Structure 1
């Protein structure tokens, strides 16, 4: 039952936001009493914490699978972007923003874990990209991996990129292209242009 509660709560939080979803809403969706939820989670904060880190673990497992099978670092980054967007429902309720506003301690812990994961995986990707000749061998891989994390978290800040003006899909797509154009070789640019053209074709289809 604990896992069912986490699964349903995650779905509701992503679709409607952490603030608006109540314990009653979750209980009604599951067809159980609210008391049953409290058997597993003493309060809503504990449930938010459990769902947040459950989703983080699920996404990390998926990213690891992509990293193991991608044919090159550029494909890897585009596949990760698509995977994350799918799992976060295109972030239509701005879960990161709500988490920061209403559950700041959980948000900070999540951000720390996100940095550890992203820094490690992007650093490995950059090193492989240099080795395979798609990224320039003059880049500072540690610096670039940190900048990538800073940019990816920065575009989610509503103050700089208002949600009524920018769709998250557009922001992630644009930032990823911006990031890659700064570090690719001619070989890498050919691969990147192929992905951009595919993306344009899908958008216009």
Structure 2
């Protein structure tokens, strides 16, 4: 039952936002009593926390799977972008913004976990790209990895990138290409251009 509550809550939170979904809403959607939810989660904050890190772990597992099977680091980054977008495709709100506003402590913990995960993953990808001569050997792997994370977080800030001007898909696609063009070798540029030409979204 705990797993089912987490799944339904995640769906509702991503679609409607952390603030607007109540425990009553979740109970109603699942056709169970509110008491049943409280057996597993003593309050809404604990439920939000559990959902947040459950979704995070699911995405991490998917990223690890892609990283282990991708042909090269350029395709790997695009595959990860597609996976994350599909996983969060139904979100109608800005979950991270709401989390930051209404549950700042949970947001801070998630933010650090996201950084740790992405920092390590991107560093490995960059090093692999250097070995395959797709990325320039002179790049500072640690610096580029931190910049990449900072940019990915930055493009989600609606204050600077309002949804009325920029679709999420466009932002992620453009930022990824911007990032890669800054670090590829001539060989890498051929791979990147070929990939973009054959996979126009």
Normalised by the length of structure 1, the TM-score is 0.95
Per-residue deviation, 1:38? 0.7
Alignment correspondent of 1:85: 85
Per-residue deviation, 1:198? 2.8
Q: Distance in 2 between matches of 1:160 and 1:43?
A: 34
Structure 2 gaps of 5+ residues are none
Q: Distance in 1 between matches of 2:168 and 2:137?
A: 31
**Matching of residues 178-193 of structure 1 within 5 Å:** 178-193=178-193
Q: Is the 8 A contact 1:133 1:185 kept in 2?
A: yes
Per-residue deviation, 1:90? 5.9
TM-aligned CA distance change 1:178 to 1:91, over 3 Å: farther
Q: Distance in 2 between matches of 1:26 and 1:169?
A: 29
1:196 aligns with 2:183: no
Q: Is the 8 A contact 1:90 1:168 kept in 2?
A: no
Per-residue deviation, 1:101? 0.8
1:112 aligns with 2:109: no
Per-residue deviation, 1:16? 1.0
Normalised by the length of structure 2, the TM-score is 0.97
Q: Which moved more, 1:95-104 or 1:160-169?
A: 160-169
Per-residue deviation, 1:190? 1.2
- Show CA shifts across 1:43-77 (max 9, x none): 11110000000000000000000000001000100
1:150 aligns with 2:135: no
1:103 aligns with 2:103: yes
Q: Distance in 2 between matches of 1:48 and 1:15?
A: 14
Q: Distance in 1 between matches of 2:13 and 2:190?
A: 40
Alignment correspondent of 2:33: 33
**Matching of residues 113-192 of structure 1 within 5 Å:** 113-192=113-192
Per-residue deviation, 1:167? 1.1
- Show CA shifts across 1:148-173 (max 9, x none): 00000000111111122211111111
Q: Which moved more, 1:75-84 or 1:157-166?
A: 157-166
TM-aligned CA distance change 1:74 to 1:91, over 3 Å: farther
Aligned positions, number: 201
Q: Distance in 1 between matches of 2:3 and 2:90?
A: 23
Alignment correspondent of 1:13: 13
Per-residue deviation, 1:199? 3.5
Q: Is the 8 A contact 2:9 2:26 kept in 1?
A: yes
- Show CA shifts across 1:5-52 (max 9, x none): 000000111111111111111111111011100111111111000000
